[in-house]
Amino acid sequence: MAGRRTASHARTYVLASCGLGLGVGGWAIASPAMVLIGVALLAAILVDWLYLTLVDARARPIVLTRVAQPNPAPAGQTIVVQLLPPPDATPGWAADQATVSETLPPDLVPWSALTTRPRERGGLGLSYSITSPTRGQWRVGPYRLSRPSPLGLWQGRRQAGTTHRLTVWPPTVPLAAPPTAPDRAGRTARDALPQPRPDNTTVRQYAPGDDLRRIHWRSSARRGDLVSRAEEPTDSDRVWVGVVVETSADASARELAVSLAASWCQAIIRQNSPVDLACGAHLHHGDLGHLLTVLAGASQADLAQPLPATPPDGAALLVVASGPFGTAPDHLPAPPRGVGLGRQHNGAVVISADPAVAAGLAAAGWPVVQLTADVPLADAAERVNALWQARAV
């Protein structure tokens, strides 16, 4: 616990002024009673301060535990944050008059439903809820403990430097996956996107406990040592989604672009296919939670950066949000040209009222859906789903 200090109230200065005035006035008019009252007021203020200072110095530091559930959370879901005291909290700070307050980011409160209430456990602790309709990442904390002096003229304060990050994922809607894309050998699974095959694997050193069925015997014989299959799919087996937002695009266009990218990641991963997320000049891999967290924290500066140099090789979706003048961002990739990949496996979403950007991407070979920033997310998803309805049977 850091930041220990003692603060005074306005009534403390009023009483001190009265005591000083009575003392000086009584001395001037030779009234011992007035002098005694004035000295008693000043002494009471001093004793009240000394008592609180000594109690505060002797009290053990208290560390509250901050718990946020759920975290991360989807947009629109309520996050409940609790500050819980330890069961053996020092009695002086666990008294009923002790209070806890939390520092919240100023940009979080205006558009979030925030409610707070003190906890009943020993008078210490706090519980509050935040409901965010949009994505983001914020730091809450530090928290402050406050305890009044016996006469209520002073207040002891302690501040903890601990903070906690709250993550709200972008809103998502059901989005269709593209038709099955054939692999490099031209083979196509019936009901799923391409899955990794034994010849699309890497190997690693055998570790005790590895399943013997995962040993790659051919590589083991060639190396003279046991190695296991890692089963990492090649690029052609991975689905790619890229999102880039021009700096002049407004906030609604940016959030629509991020939500469409998040919805597509969700649709692909639920079909047990890996996804490469090109966002903020980096190529991100991982499970759905990781990719949604990346999109939750992506700022306008991140989204305006050129996409990674590695172009898509499997089925791909490109989401572009452009400004009012329709200027296309630089370094947009061309659609993939893998074996068996056709226009029905790739698509580009342009969020702009100007047709110039859409025309440029169409000329590069992307099937394009053009939207405006005011289109609801559910309607935008229906337009994107129409990209895959042209699948050749």
% of the chain surpassing 90 pLDDT: 28
Q: How many Cα atoms sit within 13 Å of 111 on the Cβ side?
A: 8
Q: Of 243, 247, 237, which Cα lies nearest the Cα of 257?
A: 243
- 257-294 burial string, b = 16+ CB within 10 Å, else e? bbbbbbbbbbbbbeeebbbbbbbbeeebeeebeebbbb
pLDDT above 90: residue 256? yes
pLDDT above 90: residue 254? yes
* Residue 355: predicted pLDDT: 86
DSSP 60: P
Q: Of 79, 171, 77, 76, which Cα lies nearest the Cα of 133?
A: 76
Residues 167/72, Cβ–Cβ less than 8 Å? yes
pLDDT average, residue stretch 264-268: 92
Binning pLDDT at 50, 70 and 90, where does residue 191 land?
very low
pLDDT in tens, 117-150: 665 545 577 888 888 888 999 999 898 888 888 8
| The Cα angle at residue 277 between residues 135 and 175, in degrees rounded to 5 | 70
* Residue 263: predicted pLDDT: 95
Residues 154/141, Cβ–Cβ less than 8 Å? no
Treating both helix axes as pointing N-terminal to C-terminal, what angle do 377-385 and 251-269 enclose, rounded to 10 degrees? 50
Residue ranges and CATH numbers for the domains of the chain are 7-58 (no CATH), 65-169 (2.60.40), 198-229 (no CATH), 235-390 (3.40.50)
| Pairing mode of beta strands 2-8, 239-245 | unpaired
Compute the mean pLDDT over every residue in the chain, rounded to the nearest whole number. Answer: 79
How close are the terminal C-alpha atoms of the chain, in Å?
Answer: 66
Helices (H), the chain: 10-28, 32-58, 217-223, 251-269, 288-297, 300-303, 355-363, 377-385
| Pairing mode of beta strands 164-169, 227-229 | unpaired
* Lowest mean per-residue pLDDT among 143-152, 202-211, 244-253: 202-211
> Cβ contacts of residue 124 below 8 Å, gap of 6+?
62, 64, 85, 89, 93, 94, 98, 100, 145
- C-alpha to C-alpha distance for 353 and 250, rounded to whole angstroms: 12
| The Cα angle at residue 332 between residues 365 and 180, in degrees rounded to 5 | 50
Binning pLDDT at 50, 70 and 90, where does residue 184 land?
very low
| The Cα angle at residue 166 between residues 163 and 172, in degrees rounded to 5 | 170
* Residue 338: predicted pLDDT: 56
- C-alpha to C-alpha distance for 278 and 286, rounded to whole angstroms: 12
- C-alpha to C-alpha distance for 310 and 345, rounded to whole angstroms: 18
* Residue 301: predicted pLDDT: 93
Q: Of 16, 303, 256, 48, which Cα lies nearest the Cα of 151?
A: 48
Q: What are phi and psi of 224, to 5 degrees?
A: 80, 15
- C-alpha to C-alpha distance for 240 and 167, rounded to whole angstroms: 24
Residues 293/300, Cβ–Cβ less than 8 Å? no
